[in-house]
Copies of this chain bind each other. A is one copy, B any other.
């Protein structure tokens, strides 16, 4: 069962479950039923059970899921067992805001280095170095950083992406409103803010 192909949407939901379970954990809840967990995550309970069952037996019939055990297993599956270093490219308004965003640290990610065309004084606020683009390849390769957040203008996004890929980046969270061309082994998730608004506006009657 561990060798099936897992739907991408399932992986998304696993991350959701993971976060909710962490909350339950810090509230010392020992056990949760699929019914309960599913409701909080906004899905139906068979969906949740099927999602979890991709990774083998996870719960106990009659009882539910052990919260601690499930969190560990999901940590393992999602690869969030240890702090993951992340590079941020493009330290403008949005990039700066993401640097300060606490949500990342809470989920086990740390932005360890930033890159910008023109690093300047306003970048020297925190402990994180902001380096010029010229240092990108060396720094990412040497530190073996695998994930990048891309907050550069759309016009530069593809070019920077090519550099990231050469440097060994394997996953990109892309805020530029274009479809990036990457080799198969590199994953891209797009966050397109204007698209989300435009999509919402359809539903306003």
A positions within 8 Å CB-CB of B: 11-12, 14-16, 18-19, 40-42, 77-80, 84, 86, 93-94, 96-98, 100-101, 103-104, 106-109, 146-147, 149, 170-173, 177, 179, 187, 189, 191, 193-205
Contacts and interface: CB of A to CB of B under 8 A. Distances in A.
A20 to B, nearest CB: 9
Given A189-B200, A191-B196, A93 B104 contact: no
Given A11-B199, A201-B147, A203-B170, A101 B187 contact: no
A104 B171 contact: no
Nearest to A172: B200
Contact of A202 (B78, B86, B98, B201): B78
Contacts of A187: 200, 203-204
What is the count of identical protomers in the complex? 2
Contacts of A173: 193, 196-197, 200
21 contacts: A12-B195, A12-B199, A80-B201, A86-B197, A93-B96, A94-B97, A97-B97, A103-B177, A103-B193, A106-B194, A109-B198, A147-B204, A170-B203, A171-B200, A171-B201, A171-B203, A171-B204, A173-B197, A187-B204, A189-B199, A191-B193
A14 B40 CA distance: 31
A38 to B, nearest CB: 11
